[in-house]
Structure 1
């Protein structure tokens, strides 16, 4: 039953406080109507204390007071209509169409708050997703159903990398035709969104893509709603329509900043760097909605992108994201300054599920050994470069000079590739073997003799 209230206790910013309430639920949707111009806004119950509640308004709250508002409690959470017609469409942060297309009509509405997948019903991720990017496919392999964030910094090409993954990603099995993409922009600039839309249009992937866009000048509460709308759409496509869904969300740091701002307006006790103490659980509620469920063919693979303030990987958002997710892809500023794209810094990057989704049954029999050897060799390259800065390159041993040559070729030919270059996993692994031939044979201690004989002819 809907309940309407005219007497308010307090209006401050986008928060409305009122008392003497009866049977109001947390996260319940509220219609806020101005008695002067009949303009209606939406809000959500964010706090309940006895018979008192705090309502957060979605949007601008200028010009309202305790005497010119009528609040109607809808007795339902925030819900959105979903059908397969959402593919190819663009929505705002509240799941309203902004592409001049028709409204989405559906028989069923879905609660955007959702729930993390029950661990007991989770299916372990296995299948390999090919992104066409060698540094990711070979060294930090993306697995279907995985949560693999991209850690970036201001000015680094994370938007370009996200767009390239979205247009090139595919599952190398018979389910590839059901592969779709859900893209969520959180606090994005208008030119960034225009870039994504144009890139996806040029790549011809709009028909298998749905976008949820929250602009930087949109209301702050929409920034907290838009990723939930995107994940709700992903759950519908994956678990009801049995599609393989790749969710790309950028930028999670904007979500965290919005959470901090809203928490401050609610006068909550701040935690590290001013973020609320529930930042971890809020991020976990987003990330843990990705995965696979036993008995269902569909899956949700999540790539959240976050920009680290001052490139600080210990920043609370990056730190907590690393705890929740299954690895990370780190973009390096030094590589970017050397005009290497994508500037994936492979040493701090990792994919915790990689070992179970590569090999003879998924990619190729040499993948695991080659990946381990490349990591070890590039780590040695960094040590030799540091030594060369002290003693000079001319005084290095012949073996160390071979590692320096390997490092240059590895960055130039393997890490670096064009935006439109889509490399097959076979091509990336073959290129790895070409580069490993540069090294002394006794340095290839991570590769089995059987594989050396097969691929090097030894």
Structure 2
């Protein structure tokens, strides 16, 4: 262990110190302040004779008289199956009043990249209980599917709904049923104390905490800690998935706060900024997080990610959603106009996308008509929304009977399919039944994306008669 009293500068969350021996990148550091406190940090940059250290607990109280000790190892997460049901802070320390963690292993939080040859293609359905996701933008085990939200939109409520409702449907006959246990890793970055209280009350009220591990980094915690929190969460997820055969869903909120922490550190290091002041390496940094989702050939478990980010100014061309969209396999988009109308959750299915949906929508009812129904719902809803613009110009009376049916369809789609409330948990079968009810509002000849045999089996003549009566 090397110890120095050679601090030359303190800048924001960074401490600069002179050294006379090589120091490793990401090496853990302990800084002892003159008042006896011990702070933890990590080597951010190491050059000949000088290192920069990011301090997790903040740099308050650190001066030139502080001692710096380099521990010779990188940061590790103590992992055990007993972490399920625990609440930890953003640095991985228990804050729930429970016992200290007795780890089975300690794993480097940077993780190891999954060998592309060993990656198993994601193609197994995860049921979130939210129709706009399950029916139209299906989540698949091993996928990374972000939620694009905005300031003031209820993305926290949606995150909680998914955390308590998400399940892995029963294994198909002939498959090994081992490894079907499901766990949720919830990583919160830069949230307020009020939001933290709401999260914990919901987890405890619904019993979701029993199968979850919660990491909490609050808004008044050091920004540097936010760069560690998602890595601790993902390390825990990888351990449960690939060592204990769990199917793990990782929910990270809010990625925007994480990126703001990167920008703050970059400014303290006096780096040349990229787009809108964010570091030029932000794409690489986000990819290191997102690409830790997946399945490994020969392992039962899986890691699925739902990162949540609030788009500054609702701008989807902002660097954070823009770069996230390049890396991930689609996005779920929350809509401000739907939210103002009181729809819960306010998911706009039109710009939303799950690129792996076709591979993960199951067998039988959940494949036999799932893809066809989703395609037809997308098409009908898009036509109904286009006609709304026309109504503003010519009035509804100028439209044909067919056009009026599409207008009614769009209204009912939003009020019955999308608007289900944050406490309603729908199975995929219930979601598809609602989809068929809505499609049966339209004339049979309009269902040009669905096979005739499926129409004959599921088309509801009584729904057509009810619409005509109205």
CA contact (8 A) 2:4 2:19 kept: no
Alignment partner of 1:364: what SS? helix
**Is 1:59 aligned to residue 57 of structure 2?**
yes
Q: How is 1:419-434 mapped onto 2 (pairs within 5 angstroms)?
A: 419-434=422-437
CA pair 384-457 structure 1, distance change in 2 beyond 3 A: closer
- Provide, for residues 71-102 of structure 1, a one-character-per-residue CA deviation record: whole Å limited to 9, x for no partner: 11000001121111111000001000001111
| SS of residue matched to 1:76 | strand
In the alignment, the residues of structure 1 paired with residue 198 and residue 416 of structure 2 have an alpha-carbon distance, to the nearest angstrom, of 27
Q: Could you tell me how far 1:448 is from its partner in structure 2? A: 1.1
2:139 — aligned with what? 142
**CA separation of 1:355/1:241 partners in 2, compared to 1, >3 Å: closer, same or farther?**
same
The 2-side partners of 1:94 and 1:42 are apart by 10
Q: CA separation in 2, counterparts of 1:362 and 1:434?
A: 15
Distance in 2 separating the partners of 1:435 and 1:108: 52
Aligned equivalents of 1:20 and 1:137: distance in 2? 55
Structure 1 distance, partners of 2:11, 2:404, is 66
* SS state at 2:349 partner: coil
Q: What is the match of residue 15 of structure 2? A: 16
> What's the Cα RMSD here?
1.4
Residue pair 1:128, 1:363 contacting (<8 A) in 2 also = no
SS at match of 1:75: strand
**C-alpha displacement of 1:107:** 4.2
2:171 paired with 1:168: no
Q: Kindly report structure 1 stretches of 4+ aligned residues shifted beyond 4 Å.
A: none
- 2:281 alignment counterpart: 278
* Counterpart position of 2:243: 240
Range 45-54 or range 158-167, more displaced: 45-54
In the alignment, is the contact (CA less than 8 A) between 1:370 and 1:432 conserved in 2?
yes
| Structure 1 partner of 2:106 | 109
1:110-259 aligned at under 5 Å gives the runs 110-174=107-171, 178-259=181-262
For the residues of structure 1 that align with 2:304 and 2:67, how far apart are their CA atoms? 42
The secondary structure found in structure 2 opposite 1:346 is strand
Q: Which residue of 2 aligns with 1:314?
A: 317
| CA deviation string 1:304-338 (max 9, x = no partner) | 00000111111100001011000000001111111
2:457 maps to which of 448, 454, 457: 454
Write the mapping of 1:4-83 to structure 2, written as runs, cut at 5 A: 4-34=3-33, 36-66=34-64, 68-83=65-80
Distance 1:106 1:409 in 2: 52
Aligned mates of 1:153, 1:383 — CA distance in 2? 24
CA positional deviation for 1:7? 2.0
Question: Is this contact kept in 1: 2:137–2:353, CA < 8 A?
Answer: yes
Q: Is the 8 A contact 2:125 2:362 kept in 1?
A: no
Match of 1:290 in 2: 293
Query: Take 2:187 and 2:381, find their aligned partners in 1: how far apart are those partners?
Result: 34
Partner of 2:87: 90
Q: TM-score, normalised by structure 1?
A: 0.97
Aligned pairs, number: 455
CA contact (8 A) 1:359 1:368 kept: no
* Unpaired runs of at least 5, structure 1: none
CA shift for structure 1 position 11 = 2.4
Residues 41 and 55, structure 2, Cα contact 8 Å, conserved in 1: yes
Say if 1:127 and 1:362, in contact at 8 Å, map to a contact too.
no
Deviation per CA, 1:282-316: give whole Å up to 9, x if none. 10000001110001000001000000011111110
- Report the Cα distance in structure 2 between the residues aligned to 1:20 and 1:158, rounded to whole angstroms: 46
Q: Which whole-Å CA distance do the structure 1 matches of 2:434 and 2:62 have between them?
A: 64
Distance 2:460 2:438 in 1: 15
CA displacement at 1:50 relative to structure 2: 2.3
Which digits, 9 at most, give the CA deviation of each residue in 1:28-71, with x for residues without a partner? Answer: 0011012x3221101111011223211111122123222x1111
The CA deviation at 1:457 is 7.1
Q: In the alignment, which of 387, 390, 398 is matched to residue 387 of structure 1?
A: 390
Contact 1:244 1:298 in 2 (8 A): yes
TM-score where L is the length of structure 2: 0.94
Residue 193 of structure 1 aligns to a residue whose secondary structure is helix
Q: 3-state SS of the aligned residue for 1:73?
A: strand
Q: Distance in 1 between matches of 2:422 and 2:149?
A: 17
